[in-house]
């Protein structure tokens, strides 16, 4: 597991490990993405951010504007979901910090370049107006809804044919997580839910969400998919589900946990 806390943020050094990114790709050598400083040549267009320690080694993430020659390129999504979940937190954190670093090169308040990093935390301090800019984390809810022995599954317009998942969406300003669950379910499929229960969370670095997973129960209404978001939605008996996300994602974990709970309840 990635250890986040540290007394001071070190500068890149020869004993550290490096995760190299170029655009939306992770660079690998012989299938490995944790590389040594000797595996690549630090260049002037490379930006690096300290991530924490992993297996007692300092980890840095470095983003290149163009991938250097000699590396293979893997999609972040493929690495996160098709390799061991042992690396999930490390890769998610590295990608989120690199995104923050790339997206916060200038102060959002006064427009001055942000060059001063805090020594002990991930914060950039504007030398002109003194505001601190932290990595952006966007809270989202994801909810598995049951109705008797059935689960609600929906296919967003962006998902391939036959691929179903839970209802999910961003938490709005001023909203509680529970209010976000009620609103998102109603907006996306037109039903009311009750008995909302928190289950688990997962960082989701596409680019900086924190997914918070819930169970809920159907209360009232007819399924009415929002035409601008949902291609189709329906109820599936828990032991006869369509194609759903794999268990590395919180969406897949919620569905599996709900299926298990329904199977054990003997309904």
Nearer to Zn ion, 75 or 108 (CB): 108
CA–CA distance, 90 with 53 (Å, rounded to integer): 9
Nearer to Zn ion, 11 or 110 (CB): 110
Nearer to Zn ion, 123 or 210 (CB): 123
Residues forming a β-bridge with 88:
none
Which contiguous run of DSSP H or E holds residue 188? helix 177-189
- Smallest gap from Cβ 111 to Zn ion, in A, equals 7
The alpha helices in 50-118, defined as continuous H runs, are 76-82, 88-103
Size of the site for Zn ion (CB under 5 A): 7
- Smallest gap from Cβ 117 to Zn ion, in A, equals 14
198 neighbors 157 (Cβ within 8 angstroms): no
- Smallest gap from Cβ 106 to Zn ion, in A, equals 8
Nearer to Zn ion, 19 or 126 (CB): 126
256 three-class SS: helix
Residue 49 buriedness (CB in 10 A; 0-12 / 13-18 / 19+): buried
263 neighbors 186 (Cβ within 8 angstroms): no
* Footprint on residues 77-136 left by Zn ion (CB under 5 A): 107, 109-110, 112, 126, 128-129
Nearer to Zn ion, 114 or 151 (CB): 114
* Footprint on residues 127-146 left by Zn ion (CB under 5 A): 128-129
| Structure tokens, 41 | 């040549």
* Footprint on residues 157-186 left by Zn ion (CB under 5 A): none
Nearer to Zn ion, 107 or 262 (CB): 107
Nearer to Zn ion, 1 or 129 (CB): 129
- Smallest gap from Cβ 97 to Zn ion, in A, equals 21
* Footprint on residues 203-262 left by Zn ion (CB under 5 A): none
- Smallest gap from Cβ 131 to Zn ion, in A, equals 5
- Smallest gap from Cβ 129 to Zn ion, in A, equals 3
Q: SS3 sequence, 45-83?
A: CCEEEEEEEECCEEEEEEEECCCCCCCEEEEHHHHHHHC
Q: Which letter does DSSP use for residue 106 in this model? A: B
Instruction: Name 54's Cβ contacts closer than 8 Å, sequence gap at least 6.
Output: 1, 2, 3, 17, 34, 90
- Smallest gap from Cβ 61 to Zn ion, in A, equals 25
130 three-class SS: coil
Residue with tokens 């709900």: 258
Residues that bind Zn ion (CB under 5 A): 107, 109-110, 112, 126, 128-129
């Amino acid at each position: 597991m990635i250890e986040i806390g540290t007394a001071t943020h070190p500068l890149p050094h020869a004993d550290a490990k490096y995760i190299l990114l170029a655009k939306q790709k992770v660079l690998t050598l012989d299938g490995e993405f944790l590389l040594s400083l000797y595996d690549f040549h630090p260049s002037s267009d490379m930006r690096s951010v300290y991530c924490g320690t992993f297996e007692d080694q300092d980890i840095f993430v470095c983003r290149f504007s163009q991938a250097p020659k000699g590396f293979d390129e893997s999609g972040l999504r493929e690495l996160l979901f098709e390799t061991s979940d042992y690396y999930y937190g490390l890769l998610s954190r590295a990608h989120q910090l690199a995104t923050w670093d790339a997206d916060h090169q200038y102060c959002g308040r006064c427009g001055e370049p942000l060059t001063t990093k805090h020594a002990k935390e991930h914060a950039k301090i504007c030398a002109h107006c003194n505001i601190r800019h932290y990595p952006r984390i966007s809270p989202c809810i994801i909810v598995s809804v049951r109705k008797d022995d059935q689960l609600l599954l929906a296919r967003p317009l962006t998902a391939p044919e036959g691929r179903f998942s839970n209802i999910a969406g961003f938490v709005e300003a001023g909203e509680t997580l529970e209010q976000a669950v009620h609103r998102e379910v109603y907006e996306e499929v037109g039903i009311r839910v009750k008995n909302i229960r928190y289950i688990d969370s997962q960082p989701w670095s596409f680019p900086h969400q924190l997914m918070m997973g819930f169970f809920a129960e159907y209360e009232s209404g007819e399924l009415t998919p929002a035409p601008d978001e949902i291609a189709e939605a329906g109820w599936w008996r828990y032991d006869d589900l369509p194609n759903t996300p794999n268990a590395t994602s919180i969406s897949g974990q919620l569905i599996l946990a709900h299926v298990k709970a329904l199977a054990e309840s003997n309904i």
